[in-house]
Amino acid sequence: MPEEHRENQEYVNDVNRGMLESEKAVYLRVGRCDGIAECINISEDGIRLALYKRGDLEAYIESEVAVDRSRKAGWILSIIKTILHFHSSKVLVDDMALRNILVADDLSLKMIDFGQCPLLPLDADLNAASDNGLTAQADIFHLGCVIYSIVAWQRYECNLFMRRWVRPSPPYPHGTLESRVIFICICIYHFALESTYELRGLCYHRDFDLSSYPILDR
């Protein structure tokens, strides 16, 4: 192998080893959570996760008929609670996308791929913390993209760090869940709302019932 290729491969190996160690640290920090892929074992050689044969949510949405309103609502609340768990553990999620969410046999959702997740100090103020531009608000923007994908039953992804805002298409009428998701995404990023408290309110407010939105039947 030419020297240049050998050096490139060594660099890639170093990056992969660093990401593996970071992912181990994330699993140890956040512990067990229903919305995270089950970690069976962490060793010097790697991380052993439970097997999820249904694959990732992106492929599932592309290949399967849309699930019913109740299932969509359950998925959305599950993902929100999982992100809240990460933020409560002072961990930012970073690469949140349909491809990093697996579908379990019981149709619950399990998040994976935490090698790039920044671990903040345990006393960090999550509403002010930033790791090379990654913030809790950015996490929630990307969470909104995942929520939109579930509601509309089509892949929608917009990476804030590409510096491009691409509106979902087609537009939905004012008052629908889609239009609310879009509005919340814009507000959270541009006005830096208090993200942790917003999430907590969505999860536990007694009047918040996603299944009441007919648009979930799409």
Which superfamily does 3-217 belong to?
Transferase(Phosphotransferase) domain 1 (1.10.510.10)
Q: Which pTM was predicted?
A: 0.78
State the average pLDDT for the chain.
78
CB-based burial, 22-34: b 16+ in 10 Å, e otherwise: ebbbbbebbeebe
Structure token pair of residue 26: 């994330």
Which long-range contacts (C-beta less than 8 Å, at least 24 apart) are formed by 165-174?
Answer: 172/215
Strand bridging mode 47-49 / 39-42: antiparallel
Q: What is the pLDDT of residues 64-84, one digit of tens each?
A: 999 998 899 899 989 999 999
Q: What is the pLDDT of residues 142-164, one digit of tens each?
A: 888 888 888 888 888 876 666 55
